[in-house]
Amino acid sequence: MIAKERLINNLNKLIRQDEYIQELCKSIGTEIDVVEQGLHDLYNQFWFDTMTWGADVIAKQLNIKLNPILTQAEKNSLIEARWKNSGKSDIELLQNIADSWKNGEINVSFIDGKIIIKFIGEFGTPTDLESLKVEIDKAKPCHLLVNYVFKYLLIKDIHNVMTINQLQAMTLDNFAG
């Protein structure tokens, strides 16, 4: 009904109250609202963090077989990583691919002839790690090894730092074992 109000406000004051004009603006306004919602939805398909049905379209174009159990955010991350996976293979490209993952902060570095992918955000192993590994493997030079480093809670992180209630809220996969 937003469009109806815009239509009526653009009319002369003398005819704004006419019942026929009100109904006409209501009908036209309803259709305009539907078109505007469609345009807004279409606009959202152009951005990796807001796409929904557009993810399936792009996945098909990029020949990506999406696992049906993935969440929408995981699908979008996978598609964004594949989209960015072109051009010269360097640390910047690998970092861009890692940054497309929505499962925590990731730092990519090159140390002693190895690519180090360090998860510095959340504790434990991130979800959909296998898809990230596949995309990194496609982008990296084939002769280089990749080490994945995860962040876990250690005794020094909890002893005299966390309360019992905070500890009880943690899941076991957050701890080094």
In the chain, how many domains are there?
2
Same domain, 103 and 128: yes
Same domain, 13 and 74: no
Residue whose C-alpha is closest to residue 83's, from 72, 65, 68, 96? 96
Residue at 75 is within a domain = yes
User: Would you give the distance in Å from CA 121 to the centre of its chain?
Assistant: 16
Same domain, 32 and 73: no
* Tens-place pLDDT, residues 56-65: 898 888 888 8
Could you list the residue range(s) of the whole structural domain that residue 106 is in?
A: 53-158
Same domain, 67 and 37: no
* Tens-place pLDDT, residues 63-88: 888 888 888 988 888 888 888 776 67
Residue whose C-alpha is closest to residue 3's, from 38, 34, 41? 34
Residue at 17 is within a domain = yes
CB neighbourhood size of 110 (10 A): 12
Whether pTM > 0.75 for this model: the answer is: no
CA distances from 25 to 31, 38, 64, 162 (A): 10, 20, 46, 61
Same domain, 96 and 28: no
